[in-house]
Structure 1
Amino acid sequence: MLIGVIGVAIFLFPLYWMFITSIKPMNELFVSPPLLFPDNPTWQPYYDNFIADHKMIKYIGNSFIIAIGTTVLTFLLAVPASYALARFNIKGIGFVLILLLAMQMLPTIMLAMPLFVFFAKLNMLNSFSSLILANTTNVLPFAILVLRPFFKALPKGLEEAAEIDGCNKFTTFFKIMLPCIKPGLLTIGVFSFLFSWSDFLFALTLTTDESIRPLTLGMYTFMGEYLTQWNQLMAVATISAVPIIILFIILQNYIVSGITSGAMKD
């Protein structure tokens, strides 16, 4: 029990330190030894970034558009692809799976430049669509590899029974198959949202327009050549972490179930 409490405290301490730094005045940021709680806490960084200036709220809105768009597109592509890889006798399926694994291992930096050239030729730079497509390219192999074992674990008798009851293939797929893999769907949904919400490299590479840039680039503006506004930066970082924390708290049981089930059913 004690070890568990210590472990949780260690993992949560960075979140605590991020929040505490956000409410420290500048003169308390670099004192030695560091203050575990500020002597004169201030909410000024939150006021400056979210009330006096609405620029960060615009960045948050952009991040939501990109993250939700990436999640939806990942669902639309990963679900039928993983179903096909699980149910049909596709020639060379072993090579396809190895290719998906290899794509998942590629560093994001290796995708950034080819995607930049591709979107530049299509005049798609500085658009939400380019960021959504880029993030989907990055997360799609992971989503397919997670979902495929769920479909493989479903007995084919489910589809045969539904066909006997008069269901066509689309009705069977949407009303019977998809509800049975709910943990897997929620897992890829959360991770797709997380990957795209925290993306920095694609946003930096594919955008120059401030009206398109997400929150990750908005936070980058606090980092100057000679000075970093740590309290301002941590205030925005704290707010940016809230949606992810809420998402994991609400769906944690499904996420754990989805990851463990997907790992054991292939």
Structure 2
Amino acid sequence: MLARTRSLPLESSPPRASLTETICWSRMQTEAGQELQAIVGRKELERSAGNGVFCWGVGNAPSRSIPQLARAGADVDVVFSIMKSRPKAVDVAPSRLRIWRSFFDHSGREQPLPPATLITSRADAGIRARNVHYALMCRSDRELRLGDFGPFDPSAYRNVSDTGGAVGASQVTALLRRVTSEAPAPAYKVNLRAKLGQGYWVRLGDPIDLTADRRSMLERVLANLLSVTPSEWLRIVSGLRSGPSSATELQRRLF
């Protein structure tokens, strides 16, 4: 497991305000060896260092409606809900990790990810699908904390597509449109919330696999996130996303 951080209780809140008619819903859990609480802590550091911007890695490709929404600058809420199922063993303790350094905009141009963004994923040998990864490009003016921010009923929504089908059990991330009122006691909660921004939902590029030394350094950084300042985080991310420096050289540059 990548990092052990201080466990934080879920924050409670009054029932959530209404969501935009079109939303992006993503179910979250332990990923790339990092527990969910720690992931949210890292994303809050990204947000603080990135003037409200953070990126959330996802495994599935964007809806075909995303480019149009992004070009129009549409107001789209992102709703994150904790998965009901336990994380897979390969997500809890992946054998290899990868860092992504760029994204493709909706004109097909490759651009560097925002400087505070650190997106990791599994890089298991022989898994071809892991050569492709995606991200939600998010923004928030508020601190990111896991909490219970009201109910969320996916059955009240349909996919934004030509068929407008119901949300599938295998859909981890989906672009949805509300079609009816929510059930009184839905199975999911709004556990984290943001807005889509910049490219909205993009394909990632320019990955580098972490060597054992660089992974060990990343583990030490993530285990001490509470002591890292936004300016230090920017230097850390810059070092981790740079070329193939040795762990000793990286240590000297960052600290």
TM-score by length of 2: 0.20
Question: When you count strand as a share of all residues, which structure comes out higher?
Answer: 2
